[in-house]
Structure 1
């Protein structure tokens, strides 16, 4: 069930958890930011843990990438920049918070590792031990997501220049991965 209050709470929770992490955000902080009562937040979500889970980035943002293998690096970089332009959540930038600040960091780490690493490994056809090339691509994307969203390192660059430059770095790892 979707309502304006629920959507406002999720938007506030997503932004606050992304900016400050799980432990530093209270239900009262989220309620205040969303313009609702803390009681309504608890009524709709049941607990801070459930709200945290509901506020995670949409997993579809990582999927639906249908480009030739030689364009994957640029496509991944493009998506990060487009999410910034549209003021959408950035899954790559939120991943460290999601794991470190989770109510159960070890379980969240295992789940996130498999989701992100598995997705990229399947996307690039990485069957190497420990999915080494996919691991480097995931690392590069987490760093890029953080650099773009948290540090604003590419704010002064031309959009297409960033896509070409960073996309080439990611693509180098993809190209180094033997095709299965």
Structure 2
């Protein structure tokens, strides 16, 4: 449907969405440019024209910190909000950045570079968000670990299917929030 209020996704957006979903589900090595093109409904030649290489497309499809920095909720609600966002992305069929983190590193054409960059991106974002001023970013590390595990549990293992949405938000959100609250109490 077209007209006011409706946007037709661009080929670039369709390719990026397909790449993010496929890389997230199967990893870098298991996905071909043809797989992505087929999923996006475009030609492999167009994918290469838009991104230049599979490696560049993989880099473009990686999660970014905007999902973390756009959280403008009271500190006491951060844990539940992080969990809520994972579940909402699952409900809407959107790619899950937390579930993609292991693939970002393990299947990257340059794993050491991906590890360092992804680690710094997420730790710095979460540390800033929760006020973690510890040298080793102790609390941010715990939140990243909890959310990565949750993202994988929801997407890869299909855990929490059939559970009450609000119950999962409350229960797992409280686990994440405990680390955030501990940070708030310990960090000036």
Regarding TM over 0.5, the answer is yes
TM-score (norm 1): 0.93
Q: Distance in 2 between matches of 1:101 and 1:21?
A: 6
Q: Does 1:49 align with 2:55?
A: yes
Unaligned stretches of 5+ residues in structure 2: 1-7
Q: Structure 1 unaligned runs (5+)?
A: none
Match of 2:37 among 31, 39, 42: 31
SS of 1:169 mapped into structure 2 = helix
Paired residues in the alignment total 179
Is 1:163 paired with 2:174?
A: no
Name whichever of 124-133 and 29-38 sits farther off. Answer: 29-38
SS at match of 2:31: coil
Q: 1:179 aligns with which of 139, 162, 187?
A: 187
Which one of 68, 72, 79 corresponds to residue 66 of structure 1? Answer: 72
Among 139, 143, 146, the alignment partner of 1:140 is 146
Deviations 1:67-126 (A, max 9, x none): 222211111111111111121111100011011111111111111111101111111111
Q: Which runs of 4+ in 1 moved over 3 A?
A: none
SS at match of 1:129: coil
Decide which of 89, 103, 113 is 1:107's aligned counterpart: 113
How far has the Cα of 1:58 moved from its partner?
A: 4.6
Would the alpha carbon gap of residues 156 and 170 (structure 1) be closer, same or farther in structure 2, given more than 3 Å must change? same
CA-based RMSD of the aligned residues comes to 1.6
TM-score w.r.t. the length of structure 2 is 0.89
